[in-house]
Structure 1
Amino acid sequence: MSLSLGLIGIGGSVSANTATDAAADYVKAISVAPDALTLDHIFQTGTGGGSANHSSVISLNKDNKVVDESSSAATKAIVKLTDSNDQLGSEWSMPANTFNINKDSKTNMWMYFGNQFDSGDGMAFVLQNDIRGTGAISGVGQSLGVWGIDNGGTRAEIAKTAINNAWALEFDTYDNNDTGKGTSYDNTSDVKGTNHIAYGYPSSADTYGLKFGFGFLKFYAVMNHQGVIKTSHLSNAAWHHVTLDYKTLSATQGSMTYTIDDKDPTTGLALTGQSQTAQIDKSRFTADGKNGDGTDIMWGFTGSTGSKYENNLIMFEQISNLVSAAGVQKVTDSTNNNQDVTNNGNVMSGDQLNFQTTLTYKEGKQDWKKIKAVLNVPTNVTLNEAATIKYADGTVDNFNTNTAKNGVITKELSKDLSTANNTATISMTGTANTVTADTKAMSPISHFNGNNAIVESNAANFTISVPNQTLSITGLNDQNINLGDSASFDALVKTDRDIKPQNIGEVTSVVDNTTKGKPEYIELSKTGSHHKETIPASQLTVGKHTYTVTVVDNYQHTASKTAMITVTDPGKLSLTVISALNFGTEKKPLPIPNVLTDFNPNEKLNVQLEASLPGTWNLAITASELVGADQSILKDALIYKASAKDAGTSLNNSSLSILSGTSSRDKINKVWDKDTGILLHIKPSTVKGQTYHATIKWTLSNVPLK
């Protein structure tokens, strides 16, 4: 299977960004660094590349100031791969943080590619089982530290210089589209001239292609990009959110869905982003047979620069299988039988509400440590002061909602979450504010920032209403039917809230000002109840009819919906022809053998047709060749004559119009006289003593009025 990525490489011109520019950009980047993990004992700096390897892990405090990694003030960390020209960088997972290819996982991260629109070269996410371990590395420039190095060799020779037993996803910020060795990986139509993301197997010869360059027998290498996402400039002084969602599909196959820019770096709100899915062959991780079974493999990042360079930075929100956790918020209306109103529900002024967020530790290689809850206060709700956090082991933390500042309550959990103590349920209660009209309310997304996992809850949206309900009827659409058909309707009647214990609606229907039958009584709910009805054809004449459904509840709230039924008589198009034309078995007296002679069928040709569809009509015929039992052919043997004096027109595979007219309710019967219609036109001497047959096709068509 041929896989690849386009990479970025060593630029041929003088670099536009200076060391001073890069340093200033780095300061700016960390000043706006998003929330992230601390990366304590998670990554190790690669040993490959010697002095060219400049990667490191930088720890920050809550104010985004650099602190020592061991400092208790460290709240997040940045992986820095490169920050100057002609550098390599690699960071690899620690032994306790391997990637299990037979287990689903998701990794969320922020990536930064510098502040120049013409920078280089980018970085790559790498899954690898290279026997060199942390020493696995390739070259600078377009090789990105992971892909093979193009020194003018063959595809296989290039592949040997890459990281072995690996799959890589590149983030390419430089367009290497030259026509010489070492600078041409992006000289392909799918990525040329763009920043892009793509994937491939670095040590597979199929990842690379060779093209002729200038000069005698000179080649240069390109890459066969897979799963390309073309992006606007990645190096735009902004953090880009990236989600890597891995699924194990079978013993031999996995998939990786990668999405970029799926979260706003300023607001943290979810965005659609751009996404692709790669199919991963698990056997590639043991392709050389040198490093175990390839189940738990090393993962990390490589990056490189050439004469163009940038700050290549990474921060993590969630790391594959390190900690798998979730936060789910649920809002219920305690006054209304604990009705769940989380997803666009409805409450009334004064209802007592419960806001409950459950944090769940699912699994992981580490406990979820030092969790800080950042809770956003609901809108249009007055919270009670007392709130609690209850753990799975029965322990309860109490906190006061009055500690909120600028609409945010910050509370650090007293316990880590783990397999033994896997949930923490945060509960706050409050009262829906008094409103004079329907008012939107929201319990926003809350954040739960641990040292090794960051989780967001869902938001809850609901409406606070005055004590009433609004009825609605959907599903009634205008219908166009033919005369003789019935009309069927399915009206869905809904209300905007569930009233207990009973909420009954009376449904009536009217056709053309005449009430149909007795009312139907249905239960009103937010999910809705169906009122189904069929109007029989006997009540629907040609023309327009109105059908109206009305519902009234116990409180005299009402809703009505009308649909139009349009009945038309479309007319008819039909054709009946004689089933077969029989030209007999002999002819007396015998005609002149070599003279073309016309023979009439034994029975007169006749058709009956009806063409009452509006417009004009046309009857046409065509015929196949006359074929004998021995497959011999009598060419052009069937002709058509409108009159006995006509020369006749061959019907061989040529459609011939023989009758036409305008729409009419009258049926037409047409009979052709002797020596007219379809005739057999042959030289008797060409006929053998056998059966002959041909197929005649009749086509009655209609051209509607404009």
Structure 2
Amino acid sequence: MKHLNNFKLPVVFALLISSLAMLFNFTIVSAATDADLSTADQDTISKAPTGLLMSNYFTINNPTNNAADTSFRFKSNSAFISNNNKVLVLAHGTSTNSADNTAAGPGWPVPVYPAIKDKTGSYGAAWSNMNTAYFSAGKPQTLSAWMSFGSGNSDETVNGQGMALVLQNNTDGSTEMGAGQEGLGVYGYDKSTNKGITGSLATPDAVAKTAIQNSIALEFDTQKQDSGSAVYPPIMYSIDALYSYYSTNNFDTKRASVVAPSEFPDNTELGSGGRYGHIALTYPAYSGTYYPLSVGNTSFYSPFTQGYTMFHIHRQQDADLADGTDSNGNDVAWHHLTFRWMPSADLKTATISYSYNDREIDGSINNRTNRIDDTITVDMNQLSSTSSSITPDSKIYWGFTGANNNTDSRVASKLVSVESIPDLVNASVDTTITDKTKNKVMYDDPDGGAGDTTDRKVASGDKMELDYKLTYEDGREDWKSIASKITLPKNINYDTTDDTIGTIKYENGDSESIPLSALTTASDGTQTINYTFLKNLGDIAASSKIADIIINGVAVNETTADITVKAQPAIFTGSNNIESTSTPKFTVLYKKDWTMNLTNPMSDPITLIYQQDNATLNLNANLNYTGKTSPEFAANDPIQYQISVGGHDLTYNTTVSADSDTLSDVIPLRTVIENAGLDFWSLFPSNETQKVTVSAIDNDGVTSNTATYNIQVEPNHLLEMTPDKALQFKSINYLSLNDYIPRANDFDVSVTSYQNPWQLEVSASELTNGDSKFNGNLVNKTAQGATVLTNNNVLIASDNISHDTETTTSISKLNNWTTNSGLLLKNYGLSSSKKYSGTLTWTIMDYNDSL
């Protein structure tokens, strides 16, 4: 910009005219339209990302808050909504509304003082409709929008001035506005009065009172201001019979030596800077924001020696505002903003976090260097005149203000396209691509939200699954009429079975198929799905809060080189909320002409003792290549083993320790199983053989053959007893005097044990028939004598040997039962002639000297 070193401010001498009021009659001009915009601006609007219908959520009114100040020249509102109802036009061109001009003083043919025209430039504000788009200051809030400042240019004045996202708490906030030009439609008027040979500044309080009251602003200032002293001349806004009134035009002038007052957050600095702009948070209506600074160059600013600059909180310099580029290096006119508000529990402070340039123009995630993310703690008292005014239910205005300078006809319009309204619908979209062959998940965000380190390499032929997960968090409305536009990643052959391209699975169990007719293919091979959900998402009238779009396919690469597959966007446009995402970038490896071989060097079967203490199951695997140059395995190369056991598919990842032509690995299968949250012994039940299959995949996506491991599960401690079902004795004459009554059948008891010494006890009940009892007892007769079993537990057999193989013992053989020994009936005398019965109770237990 050309600076005039001999610039002088006019000194006006005039008699006071008693009726000055007649000079300041203001009129409201008719609203501007797209036809008033430059061709470049109209083109920018036509290329705007999809936004909500602005007239549903925003109101535009002329300001009334500074109507009584006759020297305040910003009396109109240049903002309007574009013809397509998708863009807020906050400031356009350099035109000044006639209501902002000063009329010439009386007198003919020469007026007492001249008219001041076309100095304020274009400026405007659009505020949220309090019925449909209010901001709940006492609750967490999120909004997102696209902003356009104009294209980059070596003459920074083409970009001036900028925009601000503003929160304000005023009774009729729709008619609030600050000064234009450097005021961006939100800040106060730094009224500087030229009194002829002297100049004076308004007080900081006076400047703050002309700003939007009870407000917090996040400014996006496109004016270049990287000097330590003022570089722009003052602007005369009005004149009367006595004085002329100026802005000294240095809100961004830096002075590193000035320390911010303690009431400001950390990282607050005076002024700003940057190649083509900066981002900063400010307190527009706080008098401490405005700091009178010596302008130094008296010939440039005469008669003013001071001008107001501003304290900027968390100043981000060199922000890509007017000169941004996308990931392909192309100039872009639109920049995405995500803004989040988190109030403290006591509502004294709030945490503002924002992400600027976090989306590419197509909606995909941007993680390049031109992205800005910041978190700032702010004083919530700035939103109210009293510290108790903000409550959990406080509804305040939010909106955008903007301003252009008046120095260059090429100045671009300041434009906003809003895609989400605070608290109306709070929703998110997360995207993953899963390599089903390798059981590897790749996230839409390279950090994965939790330190994602996935290598993002897949082999040609791997099964792939795309998952777009839409989640409705909360809001005043359900997310309605969701139209999806999904650009599919290339180098995947998608499954179109049954003439479908995908499935939507809802949280409540419902599902719907996406028909193949929703898929279109462009001339360059790009495939796009356009499909509108049959259901809304939410918890008001909708039945589900979550929907997963599942699309399956197979990775393909028929070339001789690896192919990097670009991230592809997906946009989900509802009538009341818009969300976007993108697939992760990944690489499809080229097909290799060598093979990998896996062998099982272990004996078959592999013995596993059931529930043995500290039992492990380590599988040895040997790998080698056929047709690959040496070294076949390079140090630090990853190897993934794919394991199938009991209907579960598991993976084990390891790395090559050193260069070698063969590789021997140990797979800690029990650890792998338990790390997957599975019960190890339920997969390996006692006395069964379980089959485990293993294959390996290397860093190039080469998959080996499948090797089988048979796991024979041996019992750990086995102890079982099987008695015959019935013991019968011979019939006798009731007058019989025989001492012992022999058995009538070959009764036996068998005990089976494995690594478990044992002892066996038996007892018997009395033999009865109704009320009659047999006059005798059941006994165990040996060479040492007879032991009564009736109502008496008796040790009848034992084995103190821990057998290494499963061993079955016959008690009748062990004890050498004969017709005159073993279980017999001892007869004590006469008994009624009846059939008597009773119960034998056998108890098997560990040997008392055993484990």
Tell me the TM-score normalized by structure 1.
0.59
Kept in 1, the 8 Å contact 2:122–2:403? The answer is: yes
Kept in 1, the 8 Å contact 2:640–2:651? The answer is: no
Aligned to 1:171: 220
1:318 is aligned, of 390, 397, 420, to 420
Provide, for residues 7-54 of structure 1, a one-character-per-residue CA deviation record: whole Å limited to 9, x for no partner.
Answer: xxxxx99xxxxx999512211211321232233522111441686202
Distance 2:486 2:404 in 1: 42
- Tell me, what secondary structure is at the counterpart of 2:87? strand
| Unmatched tracts of structure 2, length 5 or more | 1-6, 9-33, 65-73, 95-120, 192-200, 235-245, 256-270, 324-331, 444-453, 522-526, 599-634, 659-663, 675-692, 700-851
1:96-495 equivalent positions in 2, closer than 5 A: 96-115=132-151, 117-119=156-158, 120-151=160-191, 152-175=201-224, 177=230, 178=232, 180=234, 181-182=246-247, 183-189=249-255, 190-191=271-272, 194=275, 195-212=277-294, 214=298, 219-231=306-318, 234-236=321-323, 238-251=333-346, 252-265=348-361, 268-272=364-368, 273-288=371-386, 293=391, 295-308=394-407, 309-332=411-434, 340=441, 343-344=454-455, 352-378=463-489, 379-384=491-496, 385-386=499-500, 387-401=502-516, 403-406=518-521, 407-419=527-539, 420-421=542-543, 422-433=545-556, 444-460=568-584, 461=586, 463=588, 494-495=638-639
Kept in 2, the 8 Å contact 1:470–1:495? The answer is: no
Closer, same or farther: CA 396–376 of 1 in aligned 2, 3 Å: same
2:128 is aligned with 1:93: yes
- Determine which structure has the larger strand proportion and give its number: 1
Distance 1:175 1:323 in 2: 37
1:191 CA displacement? 2.3
Kept in 2, the 8 Å contact 1:327–1:458? The answer is: no
The letter for the 2-side match of 1:521 is V
1:133 CA displacement? 1.5
- Tell me, what secondary structure is at the counterpart of 2:530? strand
Closer, same or farther: CA 527–161 of 1 in aligned 2, 3 Å: farther
1:368 CA displacement? 1.6
1:221 CA displacement? 1.4
Distance 1:508 1:348 in 2: 19
Kept in 1, the 8 Å contact 2:162–2:402? The answer is: yes
2:49 is aligned with 1:34: yes
1:118 CA displacement? 1.4
Distance 1:162 1:449 in 2: 36
Kept in 2, the 8 Å contact 1:494–1:528? The answer is: no
Aligned to 1:621: none
Closer, same or farther: CA 239–377 of 1 in aligned 2, 3 Å: closer
Provide, for residues 535-588 of structure 1, a one-character-per-residue CA deviation record: whole Å limited to 9, x for no partner.
Answer: xxxxxxxxxxxxxxxxxx9889999xxxxxxxxxxxxxxxxxxxxxxxxxxxxx
Distance 2:657 2:507 in 1: 55
- Tell me, what secondary structure is at the counterpart of 1:224? strand
Closer, same or farther: CA 506–111 of 1 in aligned 2, 3 Å: closer
Kept in 1, the 8 Å contact 2:138–2:390? The answer is: no
- Tell me, what secondary structure is at the counterpart of 1:328? strand
Closer, same or farther: CA 469–160 of 1 in aligned 2, 3 Å: farther
Kept in 2, the 8 Å contact 1:168–1:202? The answer is: yes
Distance 1:506 1:124 in 2: 52
- Tell me, what secondary structure is at the counterpart of 2:644? coil
- Tell me, what secondary structure is at the counterpart of 1:97? coil
Closer, same or farther: CA 523–469 of 1 in aligned 2, 3 Å: farther
The letter for the 2-side match of 1:320 is P
Distance 1:217 1:368 in 2: 56
Distance 2:698 2:510 in 1: 51
Distance 1:82 1:396 in 2: 47
Distance 2:698 2:349 in 1: 58
Closer, same or farther: CA 357–310 of 1 in aligned 2, 3 Å: closer
The letter for the 2-side match of 1:296 is K
Closer, same or farther: CA 131–400 of 1 in aligned 2, 3 Å: closer
Rg bigger for which structure? 2
1:371 CA displacement? 1.4
| Unmatched tracts of structure 1, length 5 or more | 1-11, 14-18, 59-65, 70-76, 472-490, 511-518, 530-552, 560-706
Aligned to 2:642: 498
Kept in 2, the 8 Å contact 1:323–1:367? The answer is: yes
Distance 2:639 2:47 in 1: 47
1:13-28 equivalent positions in 2, closer than 5 A: 23-28=38-43
Closer, same or farther: CA 499–520 of 1 in aligned 2, 3 Å: closer
Distance 2:281 2:655 in 1: 60
Closer, same or farther: CA 494–351 of 1 in aligned 2, 3 Å: closer
Closer, same or farther: CA 293–216 of 1 in aligned 2, 3 Å: same
Closer, same or farther: CA 437–110 of 1 in aligned 2, 3 Å: same
Provide, for residues 234-281 of structure 1, a one-character-per-residue CA deviation record: whole Å limited to 9, x for no partner.
Answer: 344722222323333442221223333333336845133133332211
- Tell me, what secondary structure is at the counterpart of 2:642? coil
Kept in 1, the 8 Å contact 2:641–2:696? The answer is: no
Kept in 2, the 8 Å contact 1:82–1:304? The answer is: yes
Closer, same or farther: CA 375–527 of 1 in aligned 2, 3 Å: farther
Provide, for residues 51-98 of structure 1, a one-character-per-residue CA deviation record: whole Å limited to 9, x for no partner.
Answer: 62021222xxxxxxx44x4xxxxxxx1011111332331111111322
Distance 2:655 2:224 in 1: 67
Kept in 1, the 8 Å contact 2:363–2:569? The answer is: no
Provide, for residues 119-170 of structure 1, a one-character-per-residue CA deviation record: whole Å limited to 9, x for no partner.
Answer: 3321211111123421111222222221111112111111111111111111
Distance 2:304 2:335 in 1: 43
Distance 2:437 2:665 in 1: 30
- Equivalenced residue count is 479
Kept in 2, the 8 Å contact 1:22–1:310? The answer is: no
Distance 2:179 2:653 in 1: 74
1:499-518 equivalent positions in 2, closer than 5 A: 499-501=643-645
1:331 CA displacement? 4.0
- Mean CA deviation greater in 386-395 or 419-428: 386-395
Distance 2:561 2:506 in 1: 37
Aligned to 1:616: none
The letter for the 1-side match of 2:272 is V
Identical aligned residues as a percent: 25
Kept in 1, the 8 Å contact 2:282–2:289? The answer is: yes
- Tell me, what secondary structure is at the counterpart of 1:452? coil
Aligned to 2:79: 55
Provide, for residues 356-378 of structure 1, a one-character-per-residue CA deviation record: whole Å limited to 9, x for no partner.
Answer: 32222111233222211122334
Kept in 2, the 8 Å contact 1:179–1:187? The answer is: no
